[in-house]
Amino acid sequence: MTPEQVTRRTHGSQSSADIDDTDEGRGCQADTPPSQAATPGVAVVTSPNEPSLEPSQSPNPLPKGQGGVEPDPEHFQGFFESCLSWRTMSRAKALAAFRFLTPDEQKLARAASPLHADECTKARRKSLDAHKLIAEQFWIKYPHARLPDAEREQQPQMRLMAGDELAGLRVAVRIAEQRELVVSGGIRSRKPEVQHDLAALARWADDSRREGWHTVEIRSSQFAAWRERLRFWCGGIEPKTERIWIEPHDPAVHDLPKLHPNFRLRKSTMGLRVPAPWPPRRDGSWSEQEGTA
């Protein structure tokens, strides 16, 4: 389902106090026989400790197209992981649908999600995927749902990123998205202290060429280590891999017609270009071996 298919109300949000309990069975579907079960997908799961990066001039994050690093909405992770069988659902579709809700609707969806999962479990029924639950406004069935106490507490004070930490974020975005981060008005973080590992990347802030950087191939332990840190630094954004040539270009054999007897494919691999073999440790130190927290 595309974001355009998400059902929206245009005149404000309904509060949980004035929603009638109708449409019994909303959001659940009959069990599927084993022979018809869908093949589970792979859900990308982010850590609840991921930083939230927001522009200093607005309480809402800048869209990616305007140079900001857009974090997940505040209640999305709690909503998604409360869904029944969330590990086999599309996180990307759920996130796209969740972003189209108003803040009040997002809270209602977060509060109702565990209640809906419990109901489906007791009825021994499968749940619709998260983005489909959002499309049919499943929270209407749970007018008394409330956010968990921990999520009703005051959010931690956000601070403005600056200096080496901000420069390191530029490098992280360059690695993860192969683009330059344009900051207008600053970037805010919910992390109470400077992230020393992110600040350690600042030494490469002026090096935008990347051709001389290290190559970490997919499925390697180095790739996994960098991927985990990049997702944390960039607010859950999945790093983009790229094709990297691992041998010099030789026109005499690589530019020949493919049917020519002397033609040879140029060797390449898929992975990330990174400034060091391993990401920095949490304290900002570096090692030629795998870093430790």
Q: What pLDDT does residue 164 have?
A: 92
Grade residue 156 by pLDDT with cuts at 50, 70 and 90. low
Torsion angle defined by CA atoms of residues 15, 18, 22 and 26, in that order, rounded to the nearest 10 degrees: 10
Q: Is the pLDDT of residue 23 over 80?
A: no
Average confidence (pLDDT) over 19-41:
45
Q: How far apart (Å, rounded) are the C-alpha atoms in residues 131 and 165? A: 35
Detail the DSSP E strand segments found in 41-100: 53-55
Q: Which alpha helices (DSSP H) does 47-148 contain, by range? A: 76-82, 91-99, 103-122, 130-135
Q: How far apart (Å, rounded) are the C-alpha atoms in residues 229 and 35? A: 40
Q: Is the alpha carbon torsion for 69, 52, 47, 3 positive or negative?
A: negative
Residue, of 268 and 141, whose pLDDT is higher: 141
Q: Can you give the pTM of this predicted structure?
A: 0.46
Residue 243, H or E segment: strand 242-245
| Structure confidence by residue, pLDDT tens digits, 174-218 | 999 888 888 776 787 877 788 999 999 999 988 767 777 888 999
Residue, of 90 and 258, whose pLDDT is higher: 90
DSSP string, 161-214: --HHHHHHHHHHHHHHHSSPPPPSS-EEES-SS--HHHHGGGGGTT----TTSE
Q: What pLDDT does residue 221 have?
A: 93
Closest CA to 53 of 63, 45, 43, 38: 63
Q: What pLDDT does residue 18 have?
A: 38
